[in-house]
Structure 1
Amino acid sequence: MKRKIQWSKRMGRILFGILMVVMVCTLLINLLVPDRDRSAVENRPLQHFPRFSVSAMADGTYGKDWDKWFTDQFVFRDRFMNAGYIIKRMQGFREINDVYIGKGRLIQKSEPYDQTIVQKNLDAISTFAQHTGLPTYTLIAPTAAVIDTNALPSHAEGTRMDPLFDQMDQALDGKASVIDVRKAFSDHKKEDLFYKTDHHWTSLGAFYGFESFAQAAGIEMSLKDFERMQISNSFQGTLASRTGDPFLKDAIDIYVHEPMPDYVMTRDGKDASRTMYNEKALDQKDQYQVFTGANTGVIQIETTGDSDRRLIVFKDSYANAMIQFLIPYYRTITIVDPRYYYDDLNVLLRTDLPTEALFLYNYDNFVSDSNLEAVMGVFSDNMNEG
């Protein structure tokens, strides 16, 4: 018995020694290997080695930053993320970090329906339409959780948009046109409307959204007017990053109108470009940024087309993939992302002189984000001043 106790103690010391050696070696490797700026798997910035200061040590931030650095810069972190996904799948997990592991695809879990936030957004749209008098259209795009219900795991329920459309019809009646694309998407649900690894719709999904908008706005068009070109087959989007899935990959297509008018795109009044496609994004993790680049406050597109129509779009990132279909039919397009726009909207309207407006969001953002209210607050301020 005594010999067994001694052997157990000896093995404990050996295992402790091995663990300490592994930890020290890992720390030394982390110190020697240059810090990475981003994680390719998680698609987020990583903590760099913290700079020492007496104040940071005193208030505890140095220790916290050091811990974040070690965790983020762990030399095999990406491989462990991938291995963690594989292990969870073997254990039967069908949901990781609010992402469903569906049949052949990943599907983002829908945001809870917040009636108060929805009403704030609808009031903002109503205020805009009444203040400007512009023909105003509202398109809330469904997500994969709404359309691809057959791909959901058995424990997950598909999202229903009926409460949203009931609230929209009541709040916007006579003020803005409500565009419902659910039937169009259901009719084409066997096509690739959404990326398998990302929460956005594909260019094809964006086309069907544009087609519904075009019918409402009196634009004559056809998919045959556009040439499809595949520009990537290695896209792994936000859902792959959140789960660690190393297997699924998506293709990215763009659609070019024939003929296509020349145009110039600016972002926040600078960075003029003769194309809306950011080719550098194809060498980055978030390849969806190929559509107009990273999120920014305002994008302005001026074309050489002969149309006298001028569009202003209030949007989230879903709209980025739909802009390619709008360009041939408008003289100018002004694109505002309320999450990043802090200027006076009245000034923008007086400068760009839009003739119609489109509010384009995906379901999850529209029921959970109320930044639109702040942008439209300028109209209420003006009325109060008057």
Structure 2
Amino acid sequence: MNLRYKINTAIFLAATFGYGIISLIHAYADNGSVSSLEQRALGELPSFSLGSLATGAFIQDFEQYFNDHLPLRTSMAKTGALIMTWKGLPDEEAILVQQGGDNTALRLTGDNDMEQLVQESQDTQYLIYKEQAYTLFKYSNAAAELYAETLNRFRSEVDSAARVYSMLVPTSSEFIDHDHYSQLSDSQKEALGHINELLSSGIQQIDAYSALDQHKEEDIYFRTDHHWTALGAYYAYSEFMKTVGEEAVPLSTFAQGEIDDFLGSSYKATLSYKLKSHPDVITYYQPADSYSYTRYYTNGKKVEGKVVDPSYAKEDIGLYSVFLGGDFPWGEIHTGQDNGKSIVVIKDSYANAFIPYLIPHFESIYYIDPRFYKGSLTAFIEVHHATDVLFLNNSTVARTKGIAELIDQLL
């Protein structure tokens, strides 16, 4: 064995074991709990027990914790995305990115079996086409039916005098402008239609789908994020007001502003350089009417602010936080209206861009996010004397049972 070989071997082993030791030290010392790049909670150091060791749960949880707290993890993820550009993948017309712990990308061609590509994976999949990311939709009949059952149960348990509405919002993948690639997603129109068929007659349906479909050529969804834009939310708001028999306030009456260089959740999930090279612009509309807004944290802390404020748009929590300041267990808005109308919006984050438009129409506006709220929905409705209740959720409710189960636990 020559000297050069020994030296190379020694350097390789030193680098490998050195990085491993540094990683272990960093993993134990690092107390970061959230990845600002991925906008998700990082794995926590698991508690050791003989039982968890015997079942393998401890090893699995520790592996997740270790992977989440590697030194330079964020930099390495970005470098990996850059290497994909050297392989030529982002130069293809479209690619399919699968998010299941590790990102993988597949070139899409006319020879792909689109149905098989979706059926073979249970992970979240993104289609990146024409510098836009689409979160693919896979229908679950069980999830759709559970959501309808949960809303019907709510309707039966609240005061019959309260008006209850359901707004189901399609995501951008419903409007993929390519016959071949659109086959990657199940029909959201049919999925949402099935939920509507099962809803009680005591729940009035808001046809956000048709409102968005009529404007699908406009910028109603972000290209690098899974949310709709404030413009898309405005069209849904207009449909809501038409359904309740009121006129929507013209968009021109709101003060308009813009936030440049928005790279949203879809970019952070895929780290696609196609998306990075074409960031979004967030256009926001601030209501002219007077109001007070208070949002409540999980620890009970309350903070007053504005419903639309560009100062909320920070990288660590996401620029979409310009609307309502982000996601909170609940919040309340009191306006200058004197009409005795009070609405509670039970919502996901799509409603954040929607709720500010309600200020000219209600005396009080409350929102509840079932992902964080711990109280009773029916008690909340009663205590706050709600005249109206709006369930506003995107089509995820017809894909997974999560939101329905959370709402059910609050009844």
User: Is the structural similarity TM-score above 0.5?
Assistant: yes
Aligned to 1:253: 283
Deviations 1:33-59 (A, max 9, x none): 9847243432334468x6999989988
Q: Which amino acid aligns with 1:127?
A: R
Deviations 1:76-113 (A, max 9, x none): 32232123223335353532321212211111121x32
CA distance in 1, matches of 2:292, 2:52: 54
Q: 1:152 to 1:285 in 2, by over 3 A?
A: farther
Aligned to 1:384: none
User: CA offset at residue 172 of structure 1?
Assistant: 2.5
TM-score normalized by the length of structure 2: 0.76
Q: Which amino acid aligns with 1:313?
A: V
Aligned to 2:339: 307
Aligned to 2:9: 16
Is 1:179 paired with 2:206? Answer: yes
Aligned to 2:143: 117
**Residues 312 and 335, structure 1, Cα contact 8 Å, conserved in 2:** yes
**SS of residue matched to 1:207:** helix
Q: 1:339 to 1:366 in 2, by over 3 A?
A: farther
CA distance in 2, matches of 1:52, 1:123: 38
User: CA offset at residue 216 of structure 1?
Assistant: 0.7
Q: 1:374 to 1:264 in 2, by over 3 A?
A: closer
Q: Which runs of 5+ in 1 are unaligned?
A: 1-5, 380-386
Is 1:220 paired with 2:252? Answer: no
CA distance in 1, matches of 2:225, 2:53: 42
User: CA offset at residue 175 of structure 1?
Assistant: 1.9
Q: 1:51 to 1:365 in 2, by over 3 A?
A: closer
Deviations 1:209-249 (A, max 9, x none): 1111111112212222222211x213222211111235142
**SS of residue matched to 1:209:** helix
**Residues 211 and 235, structure 2, Cα contact 8 Å, conserved in 1:** yes
Compare 293-302 and 206-215 and name the one that shifted more.
Answer: 293-302
Deviations 1:278-332 (A, max 9, x none): 6344242522233223433322222222332211111111111111111221111
Q: Which amino acid aligns with 1:145?
A: S
Aligned to 1:382: none
**Residues 329 and 372, structure 2, Cα contact 8 Å, conserved in 1:** yes
What does 1:100-249 correspond to in 2, within 5 Å?
A: 100-110=127-137, 112-131=138-157, 132-133=159-160, 134-147=162-175, 149-150=176-177, 154=181, 156-172=183-199, 174-221=201-248, 222-230=250-258, 232-246=259-273, 247=276, 248-249=278-279
**SS of residue matched to 2:359:** helix
**Residues 165 and 390, structure 2, Cα contact 8 Å, conserved in 1:** yes
Match 1:77 to one of 73, 76, 81: 73
User: CA offset at residue 374 of structure 1?
Assistant: 5.6
CA distance in 2, matches of 1:150, 1:158: 12
CA distance in 1, matches of 2:35, 2:17: 23
Q: 1:44 to 1:115 in 2, by over 3 A?
A: closer
CA distance in 1, matches of 2:57, 2:154: 45
Is 1:95 paired with 2:97? Answer: yes
CA distance in 2, matches of 1:207, 1:214: 10
Compare 351-360 and 82-91 and name the one that shifted more.
Answer: 82-91
TM-score normalized by the length of structure 1: 0.81
**Residues 103 and 153, structure 1, Cα contact 8 Å, conserved in 2:** no
**Residues 168 and 178, structure 1, Cα contact 8 Å, conserved in 2:** no
**Residues 145 and 152, structure 1, Cα contact 8 Å, conserved in 2:** no
CA distance in 1, matches of 2:193, 2:61: 48
**SS of residue matched to 1:266:** strand
**Residues 315 and 359, structure 1, Cα contact 8 Å, conserved in 2:** yes
**Residues 226 and 264, structure 2, Cα contact 8 Å, conserved in 1:** yes
Aligned to 1:356: 388
User: CA offset at residue 67 of structure 1?
Assistant: 5.4
CA distance in 2, matches of 1:15, 1:94: 39
Aligned to 1:39: 35
The alignment-based identity, stated in percent, is 23
**Residues 262 and 305, structure 1, Cα contact 8 Å, conserved in 2:** no
* CA-atom RMSD in angstroms: 3.5
Q: Which amino acid aligns with 1:182?
A: Y
Q: 1:157 to 1:52 in 2, by over 3 A?
A: closer
Q: 1:68 to 1:19 in 2, by over 3 A?
A: farther
**Residues 265 and 273, structure 1, Cα contact 8 Å, conserved in 2:** yes
The count of aligned residue pairs is: 367
CA distance in 2, matches of 1:370, 1:68: 22
The structure whose Rg is larger is 1
